[in-house]
Amino acid sequence: MAQSKQELTLPGGLDDVDPSFMTRVLRASGLISATNEVVSQEESGVGMTAGYFSAIKKVRCSYREPTGARDSFVVKAWPSLELLPKDTIGAMFRKDIKAYQLPADNFYPRVSVHLAAFDQANDRYVLVMDDATTFAEHKVHERELGLDEVKRLIPRMVDIAVAWEGSDRGEKDRLLTGMEVNHWTSDANLGLYKRIMPAGARLWDKVMTLEGSGVIDGPGWDRYLGGPDICEMFTRKLDAFFGAARPENGATCTLSHGDLRGDNLFFCDGNPDYPDGWLTIDFQLMFRGPVPSDLAYLMGSASVLPEVYQGDNLHRILRDFYERFMTRTRLYREYTYDQFVHEYAMMTTVLFMYFVANGAVIVHAGAFNNDLGLRVELGGKGATEADLPPEQMRQRMWWRKTFANFRENFKTFNQYQLLRTLPDSLAGLGPWIELPDHLR
């Protein structure tokens, strides 16, 4: 149930989400009666890769009056560490909140929400939702999806792709524009990444060459892909690389979740509230893009086993999705499998861009402050994995799997060589951050 800011004073951060606040939220949503209240709450974190663009905690409520109501919730508010500019984070929150106001029939299966509201003038944003881990299997990155699990997601993913096909025009365009859901190739989106990717590109290129590190499993990218500096080269060629993703150049267009990966996925077979058998959360990164965008992101996020994103199984997944889509589409009847695969290959790079751009804060912390999870590789102070706390070690586990996934996608689709043939597009690039002396 979404509520406006006028109905409730919104919290400035997670510290303001106390029993009094939860009482007001749950009474307003109708979960508890007007005489019942939250008398205490237990709080905990949410895991290794959640919370990059928001502060999140789990809350388990104890009620004054006996009730059969749900007592476990997840609360999101403004992040303590701002990885992106403040206005960008605000726009992401607004997308996430407005996503819970869309009709469920043509949208992603999503968890029930008790409050989805924002006060833009005061940078106050909040979501209070059911804790899906209490009734569903959370597909965190220690639990990669196998082939059959990926295939279980495809029917609903195709439904969504069809429901929103042609969202670059007409009423769908007007609705999504009002929600600040831009096209991936829009000036607002690519312009943002052109401004911020140079801050991380050269540092990430250093990481990618470090064979034997705990985050690079196997050969360095320069040796495996056929040359150095892929992060910098990609940053210089964004416009040309994504030219074929533009609707005006003949690309398909639909709605993309933007972050459809294990940390945001739950399986819940047999639950009558979720007939698809799965649900997803976190719509902060929604965008409009080619039809295979969600599939490409899922298959490029280390959320699936390597034997799924490689070889014959990759092509089984692609064929399954494509053939289902072609039986349903009304707008893209001339869509070829070759174009589908080309669009898929392009959009496998979305999370890679998130790492280079949004992860610049993390590589900076390692290289310049000997801090966070990459200080082992970049800090220059002799730190080892034994010096890292468990949460940073879990992050490194995800990074290791994800970098291997990225590397394999670039190899499978020969994208390093493709990038070398494309022209630079330097207009709008932000300042390059150079390596510190100890990394040269």
Burial of residue 36 (number of CB atoms within 10 Å: 0-12, 13-18, 19+): middle
Q: Determine the Cα–Cα distance for residues 35 and 119; give it in Å rounded to an integer.
A: 28
Q: Determine the Cα–Cα distance for residues 281 and 265; give it in Å rounded to an integer.
A: 7
Do residues 429 and 361 both lie within one domain? yes
pLDDT tens, position by position, 134-183: 999 999 888 999 999 999 999 999 999 999 999 999 999 999 999 999 99
Do residues 225 and 196 both lie within one domain? yes
Do residues 234 and 360 both lie within one domain? yes
pTM, two decimals, is 0.92
Do residues 105 and 153 both lie within one domain? no
Do residues 158 and 209 both lie within one domain? yes
Do residues 22 and 84 both lie within one domain? yes
Instruction: Report which residue type is found at 66.
Output: P
Domain count, the chain: 2
**pLDDT at 2 exceeding the cut of 50:** no
Do residues 118 and 240 both lie within one domain? no
pLDDT of the residue at 88? 82
Q: What's the whole-number mean pLDDT along residues 308-314?
A: 95
pLDDT tens, position by position, 103-146: 888 999 999 999 999 998 888 999 999 999 999 999 988 899 99
Q: Determine the Cα–Cα distance for residues 17 and 77; give it in Å rounded to an integer.
A: 9
Do residues 106 and 183 both lie within one domain? no
**pLDDT at 3 exceeding the cut of 80:** no
Do residues 219 and 122 both lie within one domain? no
Do residues 70 and 96 both lie within one domain? yes
- Given 106, 134, 162, the domain boundary residue is 134
Do residues 364 and 246 both lie within one domain? yes
Q: Determine the Cα–Cα distance for residues 57 and 76; give it in Å rounded to an integer.
A: 7
pLDDT of the residue at 80? 65
- Given 134, 151, 180, the domain boundary residue is 134
- Given 98, 115, 134, the domain boundary residue is 134
Do residues 258 and 377 both lie within one domain? yes
Contact (CB, 8 A) for 254 and 343: no
φ, ψ for residue 195, nearest 5 deg: -75, -35
Average pLDDT, the chain: 93
pLDDT of the residue at 5? 42
Query: Structural domain of residue 237, as residue ranges?
Result: 138-439
Indicate the DSSP class of residue 44. E
Residue partners of 185: CB distance under 8 A and separation at least 6: 242, 243, 245, 246, 289
